[in-house]
């Protein structure tokens, strides 16, 4: 056999292997774990999984793969890979990945650590499957289980059974206690009285919708309980006989008033604080003064490995974090009570983390007051200080070891990141320093040890030189192992001032116990000090954002919001002018708001702003600001410079205001006295406030739309859908209002009730569509007759209509009724089955009264109904009138 034949067979086998691999419904990969990539391979299914062609894949496998791994899962995946490499155990992880098109998918990654073909290279051989469908099914199953648990919990609450007409046949004790009623006073009664009046129509409609196709309904409504009006949630199930008719209604309810209050408070506060919550790395929460959780940020939820539903609406001390001990929970209750009384609380405490381990946090509670000075909210904050405390403990141990052995100090001194030194208190000079003095301060250990006390004092900042006076007395009362800490500024050899943090302990004493030598460590904290300054500036900015955001949320007046924003920004930044310039679609614009200093010329009358000239708006559309520290160094055209001269601008920051994709306008801060170097936090502050302005703009637009929709809904709610005249609800409201008005004025009120004669026969003859058309014609005729602004025509129910005639005595009402009867006859609507006429006719009952306290509107309706009954008894197609007189 020639050498070529084995090679061909090998190639053919390899091709068969690859063909087999490419049929697997997942991505097969081989990745070395060292620097070589000779054996790297990934199957073509990568295109289907991530939308990436294998030839475009970067075979630096781990980094490339992690780039497409969801950021929240990268650490977990990398840790699992390292575990497999270290132990040789199989690798099996489920995690999320981000496809090239941006879609997030779930995958299962299974791999084994094996030797490569060369017998030396370790590689991961693995297979990655798309398990997104399974994950969705699991989520759906969890939702189903949650609903099942909710149903089981409901069975222990308010239980009632009744007939299809709403009459109670059974209620449990919880139901009786909740409504403050005895069982025998409930059984046999209708459920209507316990339903809050404004919710009754909706409740009746939902209950009446129960059928074989819709056997169970869930509704939330207000009820009149023994504690007043309460919110309840009900699950109502219909029980049917063999013919499908409802024979019983079973209801399970619970009191959800507290949840409704929490939801309302959450809705009011969520928008106020959402931006701040999402920008902090601390654990933050919002509490009611009684400790009920209104909101918690994602950082805190992720820290404990819980979801929002496990926290919101529950007492704070019952959350998983605080269950480490009853003492911790009692301490928290005491802290909440103190904060609710106006105290700001801060302490360190151990709580439970994601994996059940104890975590130390720096915890604080601060009360939030409304304008009247009442405490409405508590803000909780927590910061994980576990690593800090661990580091502190390690540092203490190191210092104890240093104090016990000079030899040990010599060996390790040059390995620590700080300056270590021994100082002689009697001579006022250093005995020893490690080599870190060069890196931190630029001076060699020899320069320090050979220097006299005056040289050392001159290196201290003038404001901190008091620390060099009477050094021995500072340590006289210092106990063994007690650390003395100081912070001060020290001049670097290059002339710069550095902030240093020194920690010192007594290293040696004389026979009288007086300290003679000090062991100390020096840390360069300049960066931390700069960060503290920056944090203070950012805190001031966040306070401003919070105040402006609160004011924005409290007002739907856009002009008020814009003026509040520019005034607050100018005061915070100390700038000469802050303006909001609104752009129009045609390229023009105008000032929507401006805040200027007393000596700054106000230019609101100018309609063109120099920074609104459309030379390059691409940055604005991307939400990017433009920052000009010195206008003279900027490349502006002559006409722009001319406009800037009018505004006396030396420096400026321009931030776009984007309302969704639309560039609504610009937020502009000016400095006119001199150039100004704008800090990053100042620009960031303007960007955040521009986002709040955009929210206010969107909020204002939505408010206007909601107002218009509410007006239309109010109109529709009072009209009858078939006849387009007033419905029964409007009739009841108007009759009550006119009754009260005319009772005060002691004037007459008349009511006409009319009914279509033999309308059932009409429907049987001409069909329901014909009946509907007949009712529409009658309604139109009524509207043409009853035209006074104060009069009201309404469809009272079915084929029955009503006319309310304020300021009308009986004779006038009779005349209107007779006119109506004749007008309907004149319509000449055929009615072959009528027993009084061959066309449609009506019977009318008329009643008139001067309203008083002896009777009610329902009495007036009953009187009109009786009059209508008499008209029918007397032969129909006629008017019967009654004048109600109250005896004195």
Catalytic residues: 799
- Rounded Cα–Cα distance for residues 745 and 790 (Å): 15
Angle between helices 526-553 and 257-278 (to 10 degrees): 140
| Contact call for residues 493 and 443 (beta carbons, < 8 A) | yes
Q: What's phi and psi for 318, nearest 5 deg?
A: -90, -5
Cβ neighbours, 10 Å, residue 438: 15
Q: Take residue 737 and report the two structure tokens written for it.
A: 């209002």
| Contact call for residues 77 and 71 (beta carbons, < 8 A) | no
Q: Take residue 463 and report the two structure tokens written for it.
A: 């404001």
| Contact call for residues 161 and 170 (beta carbons, < 8 A) | yes
| Contact call for residues 321 and 304 (beta carbons, < 8 A) | yes
- Classify residue 687 as exposed, middle or buried by CB count within 10 Å of its CB (0-12, 13-18, 19+): middle
- Rounded Cα–Cα distance for residues 493 and 529 (Å): 20
DSSP string for 708-763: HHHHHHHHHHTB-TTT-SB-HHHHHHHHHHHHHHHHHHT--EEEEEEEETTHHHHH
- Rounded Cα–Cα distance for residues 137 and 106 (Å): 12
Q: Which residues fall within 8 angstroms of residue 719, CB to CB, at 6 or more apart?
A: 725, 726, 727, 730
- Rounded Cα–Cα distance for residues 567 and 569 (Å): 6
Q: Is the dihedral of CA 780, 784, 789, 795 positive or negative?
A: negative
DSSP structure class, residue 513: -
Cβ density class 209-239: b for 16+ within 10 Å, e for less: ebeeeeeebebebbbebeeeebbbbbbbebe
Cβ neighbours, 10 Å, residue 688: 20
The H or E element spanning position 108 is strand 104-115
Q: Are strands 800-806 and 589-596 parallel, antiparallel or unpaired?
A: unpaired
The alpha-helical segments, DSSP class H, found in 786-873 are 810-826, 857-873
Cβ neighbours, 10 Å, residue 621: 12
- Rounded Cα–Cα distance for residues 886 and 300 (Å): 72
With CA atoms as reference, report the closest residue to 108 among 8, 164, 27: 27
- Rounded Cα–Cα distance for residues 32 and 38 (Å): 8
DSSP string for 262-313: HHHHHHHHHHHHHHHHHT-SSEEEEE-TTSBEEEE-HHHHHHHT--GGGTTT
Q: Which residues fall within 8 angstroms of residue 151, CB to CB, at 6 or more apart?
A: 235
């Amino acid at each position: 056999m020639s050498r070529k034949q084995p090679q061909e067979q090998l190639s053919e086998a390899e091709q068969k292997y690859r063909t087999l691999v490419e049929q697997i419904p997942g991505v097969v990969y081989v990745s070395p774990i060292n620097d070589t990539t000779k054996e790297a391979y990934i199957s073509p299914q990568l295109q289907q999984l991530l939308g990436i062609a294998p030839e475009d894949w970067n075979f630096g496998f781990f980094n490339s793969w992690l780039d497409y791994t969801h950021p929240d899962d990268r650490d977990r995946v990398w840790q699992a890979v390292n575990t497999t490499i270290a132990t040789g155990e199989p690798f099996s992880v489920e995690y999320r990945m981000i496809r090239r098109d941006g879609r997030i998918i779930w995958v299962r990654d299974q791999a084994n650590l094996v030797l490569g073909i060369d017998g030396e290279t370790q590689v991961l051989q693995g297979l990655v499957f798309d398990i997104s469908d399974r994950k969705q099914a699991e989520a759906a199953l969890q939702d189903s289980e949650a609903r099942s648990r909710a149903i089981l919990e409901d069975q222990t609450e308010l239980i009632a059974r009744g007939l299809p007409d709403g009459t109670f046949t059974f209620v449990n004790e919880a139901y009786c206690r909740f409504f403050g009623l005895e069982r025998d006073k409930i059984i046999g009664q209708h459920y209507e009285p316990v339903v809050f009046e404004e919710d009754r129509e909706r409740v009746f409609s939902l209950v009446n919708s129960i059928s074989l196709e819709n056997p169970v309904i869930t509704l939330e409504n207000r009820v009149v309980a023994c504690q007043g009006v309460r919110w309840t949630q009900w699950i109502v199930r219909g029980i049917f006989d063999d013919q499908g008719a409802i024979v019983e209604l079973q209801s399970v309810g619970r009191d959800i008033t507290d949840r409704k209050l929490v939801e309302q408070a959450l809705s009011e506060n969520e928008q106020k604080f959402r931006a701040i919550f999402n920008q902090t790395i601390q654990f933050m929460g919002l509490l009611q003064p009684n400790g009920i959780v209104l909101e918690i940020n994602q950082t805190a939820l992720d820290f404990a490995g819980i979801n929002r539903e496990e926290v919101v609406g529950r007492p704070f001390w019952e959350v998983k974090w605080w269950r480490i001990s009853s003492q911790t929970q009692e301490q928290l209750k005491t802290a909440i009570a103190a904060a609710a009384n106006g105290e700001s609380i801060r302490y360190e405490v151990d709580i439970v983390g994601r994996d059940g381990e104890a975590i130390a946090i720096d915890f604080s509670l601060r009360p939030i007051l409304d304008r009247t000075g009442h405490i409405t909210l508590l803000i909780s904050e927590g910061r994980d200080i576990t690593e800090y405390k661990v580091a502190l403990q390690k540092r203490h141990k190191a210092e104890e070891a240093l104090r016990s052995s000079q030899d040990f100090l010599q060996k390790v001194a040059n390995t620590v990141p700080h300056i270590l030194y021994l100082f002689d208190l009697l001579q006022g000079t250093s005995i020893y320093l490690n080599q870190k003095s060069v890196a931190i301060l630029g001076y060699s250990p020899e320069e320090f040890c050979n220097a006299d006390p005056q040289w050392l004092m001159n290196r201290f900042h003038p404001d901190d030189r008091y620390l060099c006076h009477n050094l021995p007395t500072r340590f006289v009362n210092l106990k063994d192992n007690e650390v003395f800490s100081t912070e001060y500024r020290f001049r670097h050899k290059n002339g710069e001032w550095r902030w240093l943090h020194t920690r010192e302990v007594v290293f040696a004493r004389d026979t009288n116990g007086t300290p003679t030598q000090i062991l100390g460590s020096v840390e360069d904290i300049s960066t931390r000090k700069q960060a503290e300054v920056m944090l203070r500036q950012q805190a001031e900015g966040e306070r401003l954002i919070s105040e402006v955001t609160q004011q924005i949320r409290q007002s739907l007046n856009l002009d008020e919001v814009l003026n509040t924003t520019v005034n607050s920004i100018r005061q915070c930044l100390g700038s000469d002018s802050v303006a909001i310039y609104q752009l129009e679609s045609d390229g023009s614009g105008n000032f929507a708001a401006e805040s200027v200093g007393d000596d700054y010329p106000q230019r609101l009358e100018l309609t063109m702003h120099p920074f609104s000239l459309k030379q390059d708006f691409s940055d604005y559309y991307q939400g990017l600001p433009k920052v000009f520290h010195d206008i003279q160094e900027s490349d502006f055209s002559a006409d722009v410079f001319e406009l800037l001269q009018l505004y006396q601008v030396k420096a400026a920051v321009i931030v776009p205001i984007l309302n969704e994709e639309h560039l609504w306008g610009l937020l502009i801060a000016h400095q006119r006295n001199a150039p100004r170097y704008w800090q990053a936090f100042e620009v960031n502050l303007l960007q955040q406030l521009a986002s709040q302005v955009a929210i206010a703009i969107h909020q204002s637009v939505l408010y206007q739309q909601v107002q218009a929709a509410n007006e239309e809904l109010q109109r529709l709610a009072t009209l009858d859908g078939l006849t387009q005249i007033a419905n029964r609800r409007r009739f009841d409201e108007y009759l009550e209002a006119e009754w009260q008005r005319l009772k005060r004025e002691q004037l007459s009120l008349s009511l006409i009730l009319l009914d279509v004669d033999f309308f059932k026969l009409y429907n049987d003859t001409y069909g329901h569509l014909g009946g509907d058309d007949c009712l529409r014609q009658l309604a139109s005729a009524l509207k043409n007759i009853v035209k006074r602004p104060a009069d009201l025509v309404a469809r009272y129910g079915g084929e029955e209509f009503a006319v309310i005639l304020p300021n009308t005595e009986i004779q006038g009402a009779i005349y209107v009724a007779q006119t109506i009867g004749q007008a309907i006859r004149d319509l000449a609507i055929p009615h072959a089955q009528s027993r009084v006429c061959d066309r449609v006719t009506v019977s009318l009952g008329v009643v008139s009264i001067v309203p008083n306290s002896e009777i009610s509107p329902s009495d007036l309706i009953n009187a009109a109904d009786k009059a209508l009954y008499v008209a029918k008894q007397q032969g129909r197609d006629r008017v019967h009138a009654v004048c109600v007189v109250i005896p004195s």
